[in-house]
A and B are shown apart, each in its own frame.
Chain A
Amino acid sequence: MTLHARPALFLWILLLFFSGGIVANMTMTTDLTALLPHSADHRQELLVSQLRDGVAARLILIGLSGADGEALAQASRIMARTLRDTGLFASVNNGDPADFTVIREVLMRHRYLLSAAVTSEHFSVTALREALERQLQFLASPAGALMKAALPSDPTGEVPHILAAFTPGEGPSMHQGVWFSRDGTRALLVAETSAPGFALDQQESAVQAVRTAFASAGLPEQAHLVMTGPGVFAVESRATIQRDSWRLSVIAITVVTVLLFIVYRSATPLLLSLLPVLTGLLVGVAAVQTWFGFVHGITLGFGATLIGEAVDYPAYVFTQGIAGERLQQTLSRVWPTLKLAVLTTVFGALSLLFSSITGLAQLGVLAFVGVLVAGFVTRWILPALPPGVIRSAPHQLLPVTWLPALASTHRVRWFMWGGALLALATLAVRHADIWDNDLANLSPVTSPSKHLDEQLRKDLGAPDVRYVLIIEGSSKEEVLQRSEAAELPLRRLVDDGLLAGFDLPSLYLPSDSSQRKRQAALPPSDVLAASLADAVKGLPFRAGLFEPFLHDVEMARTSPLIDIVNLQQTPFFLKIRSLLIRTGDAWAGLVPLRHVTSPAALADRLAREAGPELTFLDLKSEAGRLVNGYRHESLRLTAIGLVAMTILLWWGLRDTAMVSRVLLPPLLAILFVVTLLTVIGERLSLFHLVSLLLVLGIGLNYALFFNRPFSDEEEKRRTWLSLTVCLLATLSAFGALAFSRTPVLHAIGLTVGLGAAGSLLIAAILGQQRVSQ
């Protein structure tokens, strides 16, 4: 152990200690909105508000099947009650009319301020007469039995009028007094979680609560529960990814361990190999936590990939060892090259660090710190730890000469350059197919699940997850007025079949100005009594029947206006809060749309017929734009990073030809991988992009080592062994991921596996060129 190893060890332990402390108390978040750029444009802000507060994102659609209708209806009622009691849901609805009484009471109380039908005309003798004749007809029908109770107070039918505005069209099918699918085989419920759609832990509790409620709903064994909705899908995806990555990690670790054990024939270097990358990850995460105050789940997932190349660092050292040599000596030979390998990655990460997008900046910090620390541990800690001496030379059983053999012919070089040109041409022709802007393609949600979701959504008339209208205004009042103005144009669009329905904040809370207008339209009691007496002439209504009506109108004339506060404790409160939100100094009204049939035509008609303060938001394409923004910025930053790396390489190697030989392999490999992925129809996502950054790091390392000056044939053989071991380790780890059915893991695995193999191959081909000259 050298003298300067002691302070290094001390520093390392200190680092581990502090980082461990920070990581143990770190704030993990999975809230997607935390990753967004600070300078998000207006639409993206709206997108975020939708992701955060959107009603559609919080709905869980529930279907029960596999038993007779009566049992399913009974279970539906039990589940609705159980779920409401959990407190996890803002509302649980199954269509049961019993739950509807509360709503009727609220409507009854505020009917003259809520009903859009209230104008001064509404209480004229003619209008009253018409209303009374209509009521007489209702009374004559057997439904009069149900109607009668409300007639004396509400002869003008305000409550039915308000209700009709809430649910235009048919609504879900009813059987046995609850909602059922159209074919009557599946009882349906809609639950709205209190937590936002992207709060995955809370969504998971909600999903679990539904399962528990189902299990205790008294249904027979063969009964079946289905659930869909954004939150449900997100929870399922996370579980799939976790399960998949856990299983694949075990496979990868086993394969890599066996491989390294065969090479080292000793357990010690195996264990030591893990130290740099683990220390790097720990300190890197601690750095992100310290810098940003929180660590995003995605940063953690990608970060582990990004600093994956650090696994190779010890391999470069151990495989270069000569039996009996001290590790310190091995390092002194390898370090100049390894140093460049570490620093190039650090410089690459440096550019991400300055990203305006929090997510990328976090990745940058993690990679920057992580790789730097991994390099530090490899250089100063590994030799300071026992045994510090290479006991035996690494196993040479691997036919390491495959590399030069493969690349030994001149023809291969020409093939490669020809291939590169072809690849460039292909990409130029198919540049439109390279990138994937659809986040949904990365979700592991199967198409049967998507189909089921569509089915349930249609049966329930639940709002579309994808399309929503945003009404903006500087005040609550302005938004509500605009919401009222939007009702007529929207109804026309429904009539024209462009959508099935919509919800508006003003349906539940009219603007103050409308409320005042309605209040002013209510006639004084003596006037109303006189009009009513006129209107009722000749009709067989009992005298004095409508006293409650006269009384209620008089009350409404002087009552305070309805405010959100008055509606607390009613089912309307949550509704309004989710439809009317504050965004900084401004307000926004959300208009969930149901079953949009023609988005393009809808957007077009809205632009022409509704005001500019009404924005038609396609969440899917907005999310796509967001991802685009991410991609453009990361590409730009990567380009800057590449320039930095080139300068660094030139500084380290002092040889332009050498720099190009080091830079070309990973760049060409990336070109080939991108072309191959495009040709086989796999579109590139952010996950691919981050994987390509790793390919760049790994490929540079390969090329650096391949091109380092060798003192003798033995050292050359040892280097080939290093590279073969590193490549095999990378291939086994990422190859396993490539077979995952989870798109994210598959993308990372395939890209890194192909890229790493390609880089080494090209480095060999280009390196051979030098030897042959």
Chain B
Amino acid sequence: MKVPITLATLILLCSLFSWLPASAEPAAGGEPFDVPGLMELLATVSSRQEHFTETKTLAMLTQPVVLKGTLAYVRPDRVEKHVTSPYREDLTVQGDRLTLSSPKGTKQLAVDSHPLIRSFIEAIRASLAGELAVLRRLYHIKFQGTRQQWELTLRPLDAQAAEYVASIILRGEGDRLTTVDIRETGGDRSLMEIDGPVS
């Protein structure tokens, strides 16, 4: 008997799914705006690094858990999430490889090794890369807002992923991602707010 992925690995993997953007030139206001337009806009950003604060609200807990750290993106396929508080953990996606390191050790695996992992990661990576085709293959997409203030709602199409995740809502201003809001099927919620570029 082989165990495909240990729980611990899955857990580590999934911590990948937060994400952030950084600045470019301010967007022109007022004109009509849609998903392809947003994708085009995001695709112009080649790299960024920002601070984040992630607040998790869980039914099992009497008060939320708050994580702090930095997020970095380098076009087209590198995403890094570094948690610095209350514990240390680094998560890196490079192409289809996912690397997790903590003081306990390092693990590597394929992004597409499990539908849930893939859903989490691509929501962030494909959005930031402006890869609309990838998003359409994995999620049901809903868009609202303007170029100045937009909201992209992703619902996983894959049954295994949808079992856990109800929706992933990305909010932003122009080419800058400002929040990643994950709603789980059981009502738990994770809200990651991207606070600003690392100076």
- Which single member of A100, A139, A141 contacts B60 (CB below 8 Å)? A139
| Min C-beta distance of A574 to chain B, whole Å | 9
Interface string of A364-375 (1 = CB under 8 A from B): 000000000000
With A141-B15, A145-B184, A160-B8 as contacts: A167 and B2 at CB distance below 8 Å: yes
Interface segment, B30-38, B61-69, B128-136, B143-151? B61-69
Contact of B12 (CB < 8 Å), options: A97, A141, A174, A545: A141
B2 near A171 with CB under 8 A, answer yes
Contact status B3-A167, CB under 8 Å:
yes
CB–CB B11/A173 < 8 A: no
Q: Does the CB pair B14–A171 fall under 8 Å?
A: no
Chain A residue at minimal CB-CB distance from B185:
A145
Which among A103, A177, A180, A545 has the highest number of chain B CB atoms within 10 Å? A177
Instruction: Assess A173 versus B1: contact at CB under 8 Å? Given A139-B65, A141-B12, A143-B14.
Output: no
Cβ-defined contact, B113 with A103, below 8 A: no
Q: State the CA gap A151–B188 with chains docked (Å).
A: 15
B71–chain A nearest beta-carbon distance, Å: 14
- From known contacts A160-B6, A171-B3, infer whether A148 and B60 are also in contact, taking CB-CB under 8 Å: yes
Smallest beta-carbon distance B52→chain A, Å: 13
Q: Is B198 an interface residue (CB 8 A)?
A: no
Closest to B184 in A: A145
Q: Which A residues are CB-close (under 8 A) to B18?
A: 142
Question: Contact mask A104-141 → B, CB, 8 Å, 1/0?
Answer: 00000000000000000000000000000000111111
User: At the interface, yes or no: A170 with Cβ under 8 Å from chain B?
Assistant: yes
Bound form: Cα–Cα A143–B89 in Å = 13
Q: Which residues of B contact A175 (CB under 8 A)?
A: 110, 112-113
Q: Chain B contacts of A542 at CB under 8 A? A: 59-62
Using C-beta atoms within 8 Å of the partner chain, give the interface range for chain B.
35 or more
Map CB proximity to A onto B170-199 as digits: 1 under 8 Å, 0 otherwise.
000000000000101010101000000000
Q: Is A164 close to B, CB under 8 A?
A: yes
Q: Determine chain A's interface SS by DSSP, over half rule.
A: mixed
Interface size band for A = 35 or more
Q: Mark out the residues of chain B between 85 and 124 whose CB falls within 8 Å of any chain A CB in the assembled complex.
A: 86-87, 89, 96, 107-110, 112-116, 120
Candidates B2, B59, B120; contact of A190 at CB < 8 Å: B2
* Listed stretches A88-96, A256-264, A266-274, A704-712; interface member: A88-96
Report whether B116 and A146 are in contact in the complex, using a CB–CB cutoff of 8 Å: yes
**Cα of A548 to Cα of B160 in the assembled complex, Å:** 26
A-contact 0/1 string along B9-22, CB 8 Å cutoff: 01111111110000
Contact A173 B110, beta carbon cutoff 8 Å: yes
Chain B positions within 8 Å of A138 at CB level: 11
Chain A residue numbers with a CB within 8 Å of B63 are 540
Known contacts being A142-B182, A145-B165, A173-B113, is A540 close to B65, with CB within 8 Å?
yes
A273 to chain B, nearest CB (A): 60
Measured in the bound complex, the distance between the Cα atoms of B2 and A571 in whole Å is: 11
B114 pairs with A167, CB closer than 8 A: no
Chain A proximity of B12: nearest CB distance (Å): 7
Whether A540 contacts B61 in the complex (CB less than 8 A), given A140-B67, A171-B3, comes out as yes
User: Are A136 and B7 touching (Cβ within 8 A)?
Assistant: no
* Chain A residues closer than 8 Å to B13, beta-carbon distance: 143
A461 at the interface (CB under 8 A from B): yes
Q: How far is the CB of A89 from chain B (nearest CB, A)?
A: 13
The reply to whether the CB of A166 lies closer than 8 angstroms to some CB of chain B is yes
Does A172 belong to the interface (CB within 8 Å)? yes
Determine whether B5 belongs to the interface, using a CB cutoff of 8 Å to chain A. yes
Question: Per-residue CB proximity of A152-196 to B under 8 Å, as 1/0?
Answer: 100000011001101100111111110110001000001000000
Query: Are A170 and B108 also in contact (CB < 8 A) when A103-B1, A141-B14, A540-B61 are?
Result: yes
Contacts of A91 in B (CB 8 A): 1
Q: Is the CB of A184 within 8 A of B110?
A: yes
- The answer to whether A142 and B190 touch (CB under 8 A), given A167-B6, A170-B108, is yes
Taking CB atoms, residues of chain B closer than 8 Å to A148 are 58, 60, 186, 188
Return the chain B residue nearest A169 by Cβ.
B107
Cα A139 to Cα B115 in complex, Å, equals 20
B contact residues around A435 at 8 Å (CB): none
Q: Do B7 and A147 touch across chains, with their CB atoms under 8 A apart?
A: yes
Pairwise interchain contact B11-A540, C-beta atoms closer than 8 A: no
How far apart are the CA atoms of A180 and B65 in the complex, in Å? 37
Please give, as numbers and ranges, the residues of chain B lying within 8 Å of A152 by CB-CB distance.
Answer: 60
Residues of B within 8 A of A419 (CB): none
Q: Does A524 have its Cβ within 8 Å of any Cβ on chain B?
A: no
User: Is A386 positioned at the interface, with any CB of B under 8 Å from its CB?
Assistant: no
Tell me whether A100 and B16 are in contact (CB under 8 A).
no
B17 touches A142 (CB 8 A): yes
Q: A139-B61, A143-B13, A151-B60 are in contact. Are A172 and B2 (CB under 8 A)?
A: yes
Assess A174 versus B5: contact at CB under 8 Å? Given A140-B65, A141-B12.
yes
A575 at the interface (CB under 8 A from B): yes
In the complex, the chain A residue whose C-beta lies closest to that of B182 is A142
Chain B minimum-CB-distance residue to A167? B3
User: Is the CB–CB distance between A136 and B112 below 8 Å?
Assistant: no
Q: What's the least CB distance linking B190 to chain A, in Å?
A: 7
Of the candidates A144, A145, A572, the one having the most CB atoms from chain B within 10 angstroms of its own CB is A145
Cβ of B56 < 8 Å from any Cβ of A? Answer: yes
In Å, the complex CA distance between A175 and B97 comes to: 11
Contact B62 A541 (CB under 8 A): yes
Query: A130 to nearest B CB, angstroms?
Result: 13
Contact with B along A72-110 (1 / 0, CB 8 A): 000000000000000000010101110010010000000
* Chain A residues whose C-beta falls within 8 Å of the C-beta of B186 in the assembled complex: 148
Of listed B5, B59, B86, residue having the most chain A CB within 10 A: B5
Q: Which residue of B lies closest to A176 (CB)?
A: B112
What residues of A have a CB within 8 angstroms of the CB of B61 in the complex?
Answer: 136, 139, 540-542
Query: What residues of chain A lie closer than 8 Å to B190, measured between beta carbons?
Result: 142
Instruction: Find A146's partner among B11, B58, B113 (CB 8 Å cutoff).
Output: B11
How far in angstroms is the closest Cβ of chain A from B51? 17
Closest chain A CB from B107 CB (angstroms): 8
How distant is the Cα of A160 from the Cα of B8 in the complex, in angstroms? 7
Residue in chain A with minimal CB distance to B16: A142
Chain A residue with the shortest CB-CB distance to B109: A174
CA distance A144 to B18 in the complex (A): 14
Taking CB atoms and an 8 Å cut-off, the chain B residues in 40-88 that contact chain A are: 54, 56, 58-63, 65, 67, 86-87
Q: Is the CB of B62 within 8 A of A571?
A: no
CB distance A163 to B15 under 8 Å? no
Chain B residues with CB under 8 Å of A540's CB are: 61-63, 65
From residue B163, how far is it (CB to closest CB) to chain A in Å?
9
CA distance A142 to B13 in the complex (A): 8
Q: Can you name the residue of chain A whose Cβ is closest to the Cβ of B17?
A: A142
Residue contacts A-B, CB under 8 angstroms, 7 given: A100-B3, A142-B14, A144-B188, A145-B165, A176-B112, A179-B4, A540-B65
Interface residues of B (CB under 8 A from A): 1-8, 10-18, 54, 56, 58-63, 65, 67, 86-87, 89, 96, 107-110, 112-116, 120, 160, 164-165, 182, 184, 186, 188, 190
Give 7 A-B pairs besides A103-B1, A148-B186 with Cβ atoms closer than 8 angstroms. Answer: A95-B2, A136-B61, A142-B14, A142-B15, A143-B7, A144-B58, A148-B188
Across the A-B interface, give the 7 residue pairs with the lowest CB-CB distance, nearest first.
A143-B11, A174-B113, A143-B14, A141-B15, A142-B14, A145-B164, A95-B4
